[in-house]
């Protein structure tokens, strides 16, 4: 019962926080769909029982995982920012890192 209660309170707090901040909602929704895409790719492999071509599978999977990680690091910095770091910097870093990730995945798939 205690666990159930704690879980419900956490869930309410989370949704309250996310509903008040559209940017958090953007990030969390994107993360959820990235997980879905990863599951779809994995289901494809399980269905055909083959991961050929392996580098293409890795590319597809890594872009989901990598983007998820970058979104999480952006989300962590959306809260109280550090006094010496401007607020635009986390977003800038996210964009640059995402571009690098996309290039690596497109390069690796071939």
Partner 1 sequence: QDVHVSFPSTKRKTSIMIGRVGPEPEKDDIASTSVKVDNPNEVIQVSFAIDSSDKPFQNFLLVGLPSSNLEMTFEPEIRDNGKLSMYKYKVDLGTLDSALLQQASKSSESIKATLILASSTAKPKDNLFKEILQLDLDFDIDHTDSSFVDKFSVKPEIHHVFHAEPKRVARPIALLFVAIIFLTVLSLIVTWLNSCAATFDSFPSGTNALYLLGFVVTIVGFEVIFVRYYLGTNIFETLFSSLYLGAPGLLASTKFLRSFGQ
Partner 2 sequence: PRSWEISNSWVYISTICGVIAAWVFFVVSFATTSSV
Rule CB under 8 A: choose which of 6, 42, 55, 89 binds partner 1. Answer: 89
Rule CB under 8 A: choose which of 36, 46, 65, 72 binds partner 1. Answer: 36
What residue 73 binds from partner 1, partner 2, none (CB within 5 to 8 A, per partner kind)? none
Q: Enumerate residues 6+ apart whose C-beta is below 8 A from 102.
A: 63
- Joined together, the tokens standing for residue 83 give 């006094």
**Beta carbon nearer to partner 2, 12 or 92:** 92
Does position 87 interact with partner 1 (CB under 8 A)? The reply is yes
Q: Please classify residue 64 by burial: count the beta carbons closer than 10 Å to its beta carbon, then call 0-12 exposed, 13-18 middle and 19+ buried.
A: buried
């Amino acid at each position: 019962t205690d666990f159930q209660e704690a879980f419900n309170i956490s869930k309410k707090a989370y949704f309250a926080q996310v509903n008040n901040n559209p940017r958090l909602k953007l990030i969390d929704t994107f993360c959820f769909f990235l997980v879905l895409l990863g599951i779809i790719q994995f289901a494809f492999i399980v269905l055909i029982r083959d991961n050929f071509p392996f580098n293409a599978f890795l590319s597809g999977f890594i872009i989901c995982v990598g983007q998820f990680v970058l979104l999480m690091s952006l989300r962590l910095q959306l809260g109280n920012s550090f006094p010496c770091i401007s607020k635009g910097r986390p977003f800038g870093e996210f964009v640059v890192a995402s571009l690098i990730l996309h290039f690596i995945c497109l390069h690796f798939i071939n």
